[in-house]
Amino acid sequence: MPTGAIPAASTVDPFVLKDVDLVIDADNYAAHVSSVAWVPSAQQQSWKGLKPSSTFTDVGTATWVANLEFAQDWSDPASLSTYLLEHEGETVDAIFVPRSGSSMPAFTARLTLTPGQIGGAVDAFATATVSLGSTKPVPNTTPA
């Protein structure tokens, strides 16, 4: 690219999460969740020498968590609430499809399970939020 040349803008196709699939250990819990987000976290390190030109910065490898917000359901033994409580500490496969039935890639990862809260505030739906340890999500370019 010539110096000073500005590349053409890439296209963008934003979407709204409204018809997704969230498969955890072979069960689709999409109807149970109101939010799902894989979130990376990486530490930045800097080293500074005694000359202005001796400053260096690098970033470590990201670690990942899958944050889920979901409705508590203790009446159904197959609910996400019950599943997380009964399988605490287990590591299982997960598949997230951000737009069900589209050509958008599905993301796969391994999750370490932890239960959500039990109970909540008066006159409100009982919901819970969990952060599940995760491997880095891998996009599958074959539509789900």
The two three-digit tokens of residue 107, written as one number: 């993301």
Indicate if the pLDDT at residue 1 is higher than 60.
Answer: no
Res. 21 pLDDT band, cuts 50 70 90: very high
Considering the entire predicted model, what is its pTM?
Answer: 0.86
Indicate if the pLDDT at residue 132 is higher than 60.
Answer: yes
Phi, psi of 32 (to 5 degrees): -90, -25
Indicate if the pLDDT at residue 144 is higher than 50.
Answer: no
Per-residue pLDDT, averaged over 94-103, amounts to 93
| Distance from C-alpha of 37 to C-alpha of 39, rounded to nearest angstrom | 6
Phi, psi of 40 (to 5 degrees): -90, 155
Per-residue pLDDT, averaged over 43-58, amounts to 95
| Average pLDDT of the chain to the nearest whole number | 94
- Burial tier of 82 (Cβ tally within 10 Å: 0-12, 13-18, 19+): middle
